[in-house]
Structure 1
Amino acid sequence: MLPNVHKCRNLAVSLNHLRFNIALRHRRLLHNGPDTIDELLDRHLVKKDKTHHGDDEENDLLTRQRLTSNRREALSLYRDILRATQFFMWPDSRGVLWRDVLRENARKEFEAARFEKDPEIVTRLLIGGREAVQSAIDKLVEKQREQIAKERSDQDRR
């Protein structure tokens, strides 16, 4: 029985070598590839076909959907900022509530980016805004926890 096991293993190894050799024959090696960068780009880049006007309509529709989605995201972020700022009820050095300062700054940021059309920039702004809101809330929660711990330790001393 042991010789049969060796034969099966040898057969499996032979099949693996055969598959590997076939794959090597069909694989296109780099030195057999295009001679110039232009040929490489022609082969791998999708060329825009200007004969189809339906494609332009589809692209316009996708752009409008993306803008609508970004608009929804921006409005959602702005609402989240307004909700988050309600917890900042202490005054700054001028006596103005931090809530009002934060809301005014958010409004300025949104107005500055209002007419931005580049989807990549809009996405970066949205992500940055989300991270800033989350960071501010996390810091606020941490400070409140510290304040509660401090108050409890003061009560325990009494």
Structure 2
Amino acid sequence: MSAAGKKMLEEILSKPIEHMILSKKMPPNKEALKLYREILKFSNYFYWNNTKGENWGEIIRKSARREFEIGKSESDPLIAMKMIMTTRESLQKTKEKMNDAYFKLHQTVDETRNN
């Protein structure tokens, strides 16, 4: 789990769970909006097209929008928070994979230039 995910989990666990269930209080909208904006910014790094000719960045933006629309209608605060945490963790894993791929690409370019 990423550091941000761990911090969010600690925040949730520090409050009594009964309070969240009884009050039906939703997780802060600002956390969901922050995550949505982060996904939109990150989608700009996906500038290539898939085999159908569709831009991956646009596919990611549309998918994120659909997921967040579904999340808006969720009334159970625990499920809503789980959705946010799962999305954040997926985003972090995708960023790590992207960074690894760029690092390997740069390594390959450097090796081929030096030979």
> Aligned partners of 2:23, 2:57: CA distance in 1, in Å?
36
**1:71 to partner: Cα distance:** 1.2
Counterpart among 73, 94, 117 of residue 31 in structure 2: 73
**1:63 to partner: Cα distance:** 4.0
Identity percentage of aligned residues = 28
* Residue aligning to 1:105: 63
Q: Which runs of 5+ in 1 are unaligned?
A: 1-58
**1:99 to partner: Cα distance:** 0.6
Larger RCO, structure (CA 8 Å, separation 6 or more): 2
* Residue aligning to 1:142: 100
> Between Structure 1 and Structure 2, how many residues are aligned?
95
Q: Which runs of 5+ in 2 are unaligned?
A: 1-18
List 4+ stretches of structure 1 deviating above 3 A: none
Q: Does 1:130 align with 2:88?
A: yes
Q: Please tell me the root mean square deviation across aligned C-alpha atoms, in Å.
A: 1.7
> Aligned partners of 1:111, 1:93: CA distance in 2, in Å?
27
Bigger radius of gyration among the two: 1
**1:77 to partner: Cα distance:** 0.7
TM-score (norm 2): 0.75
**1:113 to partner: Cα distance:** 2.0
